[in-house]
Amino acid sequence: MAKLNLIIKARYLRHEETKAEKILWKELRNRKLGIKFRRQHPIEKFILDFYAPEIKLAIELDGSQHKGNHEYDKLRTEYLESQKIKIIRFWNMEIEKDLEKVLEKIKFNLPTP
């Protein structure tokens, strides 16, 4: 039941994406960077904003909702790292103000062809 609830929540989040998520998804979708990314992807009890399963790379966008959730974010990060998932975090305003710099950092973390 918990897994089903997580899947339902992930679907909801895909339809209620933030401005920053829309901007970044345009750059990640359809293997534009050579890697397949998934959006609002559930893993165990967490939902990742963007996830590339073939290289175990998660991209998390943090907005105002993360300012009071330090303990939750810490537990989530510890769990994901225990699963050998690398996490890159950006603030929403980074996506909106300097997308090129964000994309450079993402590309730096992708395997070289």
What is the tens place of the pLDDT at every residue in 28-43?
A: 999 999 999 999 998 8
Q: Could you list the residue range(s) of the whole structural domain that residue 14 is in?
A: 2-108
Residue 65: DSSP 8-state:
G
pTM given for the model = 0.84
Does residue 13 form part of some domain? yes
Round to whole Å and give the CA distance between 38 and 49.
8
Residue 63 covered by a domain: yes
Which of 98, 89, 42 has the alpha carbon at shortest distance from 66? 89
Give me the CATH number covering residue 14: 3.40.960.10
Q: What is the pLDDT of residues 41-69, one digit of tens each?
A: 988 888 899 999 999 999 999 865 555 56
Rounded distance between C-alpha atoms, residue 98 and residue 107, angstroms:
15
Question: Domain tally for the chain?
Answer: 1
Percent above pLDDT 70 for the chain: 81
Residue 113 forms part of a structural domain: no
In terms of C-beta distances under 8 Å and separation of at least 24 residues, what long-range contacts does 10-16 make, across chains too? Answer: 10/40, 10/41, 10/42, 10/47, 11/40, 13/40, 13/47, 14/39, 14/40
